[in-house]
Amino acid sequence: MKNRLSLLQISFFVCALSAFFFIGCKKTTTPLDNILRYGINLVSPANGATNQPVQPIFTWINENPNITRYAIYYGTNPNSLVKDVYNYRGNANLSDSIRLSPDGGTTSPYLSYATKYYWKVVGMNANGTVLDSFTNNFTVRNPINMNTPREALGLAVYNGKIYAAGGTNDGDNGLNSVEVFNGTTWANAQPMNIATIGVRLATFNNNLYAVAGFNSTGIGYALDSVQYFNGSTWTTSEQILDTPRSSFGLVNYNGQLYAIAGYDNNRALNSVEVFNGTTWTLSPASLNTARNSLGVGVYNNQIYAVGGGSSGSVTIFNTVEYFNGTSWVNAPQKLNIGRERLAVAAYDNKLYAFGGYDTNYNYQNSIEIFDGTNWSFGTPMPTPRASLAAAVYNNMVYLVGGDTTDASGNPAPLSTVEIYNPATNQWQ
Q: Which of 117-126, 226-235, 264-273 has the lowest mean pLDDT?
A: 117-126
Distance CA 283, CA 254 (A): 14
Going from the C-alpha of 339 to that of each of 227, 269, 379, the distances in angstroms are: 29, 17, 17
User: How far from chain centre, in Å, is Cα 347?
Assistant: 13
The pLDDT, as a whole number, for residue 35 is: 39
Query: pLDDT, tens digit, for every residue of 297-337?
Result: 999 999 999 999 998 778 999 999 999 999 999 999 999 99
Distance CA 133, CA 336 (A): 41
Q: Is the pLDDT of residue 411 over 80?
A: yes
CB 192 within 8 A of CB 159: no
Mean predicted confidence (pLDDT) in 20-38: 37
Please provide the distance, in angstroms rounded to a whole number, between the alpha carbons at the two ends of the chain: 56
The pLDDT, as a whole number, for residue 50 is: 97
CB 186 within 8 A of CB 146: yes
Under DSSP, is residue 393 helix (H, G, I), strand (E, B) or coil? Answer: strand
Q: Is the pLDDT of residue 6 over 70?
A: no
The pLDDT, as a whole number, for residue 221 is: 87
Query: pLDDT, tens digit, for every residue of 255-265?
Result: 999 999 999 98
Please calculate the CA angle 428-140-356 and round it to the nearest 5 degrees: 40
Query: pLDDT, tens digit, for every residue of 50-102?
Result: 999 999 888 888 777 777 777 788 899 999 998 776 555 554 444 456 666 54
Distance CA 249, CA 252 (A): 10
The pLDDT, as a whole number, for residue 38 is: 60
Query: pLDDT, tens digit, for every residue of 335-367?
Result: 999 999 999 999 999 999 999 999 998 999 999
Q: Which of 134-143, 146-155, 403-412 has the lowest mean pLDDT?
A: 403-412
What's the mean per-residue pLDDT of the chain?
86
Q: Which of 369, 363, 399, 402 is nearest to 384 (CA)?
A: 363
pTM comes to: 0.87
Mean predicted confidence (pLDDT) in 292-298: 97
The pLDDT, as a whole number, for residue 27 is: 34
Is 313 buried (19+), middle (13-18) or exposed (0-12) by CB count in 10 A? middle
Q: Return the exposure string of 276-291: e unless at least 16 CB atoms fall within 10 Å of the residue's CB, then b.
A: eeeebeebeebbebbb
Domains along the chain with CATH numbers: 35-140 (2.60.40.10), 154-427 (2.120.10.80)
